[in-house]
């Protein structure tokens, strides 16, 4: 995983309800023919709002857990 | 259409079967592969196959009463999948299963599963153990729910992920299913842990900052 990783959208599960788009505080998503996609990927703060809003579990936003090494 | 015997040897339970049983299982089963996001089985459809996850990881999903799809579990290599549906009266898939990453499966049809159970006692005993283990895990989870607070369970699980005694990148949903709570609670507790200086979040990264504090919290009983 790196800084630019984004929530993963599974189009096979998506029913195009647009709840992810309306829930995004950064307006980072837009609807396309295949389903929601990132119009502003760099605006995404990985806040998890779209994953929480999705009723079909089509969005996965995995978290990486590590000890802080310093 | 047969399974490579090496795949059977890699599964701890199946490797312990008698050589003749393993040979028969290899002949009657086959392997399949899914990429991330592909569906293995669909909830409510006739239960036709049971699976052993050979590599990768999957999530188990079920539709709740409000019509939302909920994550019930996340499974890793070695996990048996859907065998309870095969022996249930309704013979319907009790949940949906989807690959989280590229995953390989050993596949066994209902009729071959039934035949092997009837004619190979060690195969039957292997499944009794699988079901007994599942019962015991449920009992442990129930005991954990009554003995430890959800904060303690989350603190333990975050440490297990950081120590890599549990593998993979987990979502809030998957963590919630694993520790016996719901996603909203996981989200709220992560924010509280961050406010208390126990963790720090940076996008998808959660850094654990205070080992002592998390250990203290993990012993918090209910
Ligand atoms: S994680 Fe947050 S910012 Fe990124 S797309 Fe989803 S809702 Fe928008
Ligand atoms: S909320 Fe989920 S189902 Fe609805 S459009 Fe977004 S990804 Fe698709």
Give the model confidence (pLDDT) of A5-61 as tens digits: 899 999 999 999 999 999 999 999 999 999 999 999 999 999 999 999 999 999 999
Start-end of CATH 1.10.10.10 domains in chain B? 147-218
State the complex-level ipTM: 0.88
A14 lines ligand 1 (CB under 6 A): no
Question: What residue owns the CA closest to ligand 2's atom 6?
Answer: A20
Q: pTM here?
A: 0.84
Q: Please state the atom number of ligand 2 nearest to the C-alpha of residue A16.
A: 5
In CATH terms, the fold of domain B147-218 is Arc Repressor Mutant, subunit A (1.10.10)
Domain ranges of chain A: 3-60
* Beta strands B199-202; B49-55: pairing state: unpaired
Of all ligands present, the nearest one to the C-alpha of B69 is: 2
Position B124 scores a pLDDT of 96
Picking from B85, B64, B53, B60, the residue whose alpha carbon sits closest to that of residue B74 is: B60
Question: If you measure from the C-alpha of residue B67 to the centroid of ligand 2, how many angstroms do you get, rounded to a whole number?
Answer: 14
Closest residue of chain B to A7, computed from CA coordinates? B204
Q: Is the pLDDT of residue A4 over 80?
A: no
- Whole-number Cα distances in Å, A40 to A21, A46, A50, A53, B111: 12, 12, 14, 19, 51
Start-end of CATH 2.60.120.10 domains in chain B? 5-132
Considering only the top CATH level, what class is A3-60?
alpha beta
d(CA A43, CA A53): 18
d(CA A9, CA A50): 10
Per-residue tens of pLDDT for chain B, all 222 residues:
799 999 999 999 999 999 999 999 999 999 999 999 999 999 999 999 999 999 999 999 998 888 888 888 899 999 999 999 999 988 999 999 999 999 999 999 999 999 999 999 999 999 999 999 989 988 888 887 888 899 999 999 999 999 988 888 999 999 999 898 999 999 999 999 999 999 999 999 999 999 999 999 998 776
Q: Identify the DSSP state of B156.
A: H
Q: Please state the atom number of ligand 1 nearest to the C-alpha of residue A49.
A: 7
- Whole-number Cα distances in Å, B41 to B11, B82, B126: 21, 9, 23
B69 touches chain A (CB under 8 A): yes
Considering only the top CATH level, what class is B5-132?
mainly beta
Q: Inspect the interface and report whether the beta carbons of B172 and A51 lie closer than 8 Å.
A: yes
Q: Give the bridge partners for B63, in sequence order.
A: B69
A60 touches chain B (CB under 8 A): yes
Question: If you measure from the C-alpha of residue A7 to the centroid of ligand 2, how many angstroms do you get, rounded to a whole number?
Answer: 12
């Amino acid at each position: 995983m790196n800084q630019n990783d984004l929530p993963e959208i599974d189009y096979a599960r998506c029913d195009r309800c647009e709840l992810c788009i309306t829930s995004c505080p950064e307006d980072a998503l837009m609807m396309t023919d295949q389903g929601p996609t990132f119009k502003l990927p760099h605006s995404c703060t990985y806040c998890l709002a779209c994953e929480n809003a999705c009723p079909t579990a089509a969005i996965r936003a995995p978290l990486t857990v590590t000890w802080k090494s310093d | 259409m047969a399974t490579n015997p090496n795949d059977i040897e890699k599964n701890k339970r199946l490797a312990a079967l008698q050589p003749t049983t393993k040979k028969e299982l290899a002949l009657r089963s086959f392997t399949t592969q899914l990429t991330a996001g592909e569906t293995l089985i669909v909830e409510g459809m006739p239960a036709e196959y049971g699976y052993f996850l050979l590599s990768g990881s999957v999530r188990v999903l079920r539709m709740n009463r409000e019509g939302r799809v909920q994550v019930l579990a996340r499974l890793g290599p070695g996990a048996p999948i859907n065998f309870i549906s095969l022996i249930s009266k309704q013979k319907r898939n009790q949940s949906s299963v989807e690959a989280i990453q590229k995953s390989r499966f050993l596949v066994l049809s209902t009729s071959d599963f039934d035949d092997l159970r009837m004619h190979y006692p060690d195969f039957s005993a292997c499944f009794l153990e699988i079901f007994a283990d599942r019962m015991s895990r449920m009992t442990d989870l129930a005991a954990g729910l009554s003995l430890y607070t959800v904060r303690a369970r989350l603190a333990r699980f975050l440490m297990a992920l950081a120590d890599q005694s549990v593998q993979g990148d987990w979502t809030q949903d998957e963590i919630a299913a694993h520790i016996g709570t719901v996603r909203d609670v996981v989200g709220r507790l992560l924010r509280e842990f961050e406010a208390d200086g126990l963790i720090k979040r940076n996008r998808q990264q959660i850094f654990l900052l205070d080992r002592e504090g998390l250990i203290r919290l993990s012993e918090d009983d209910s």
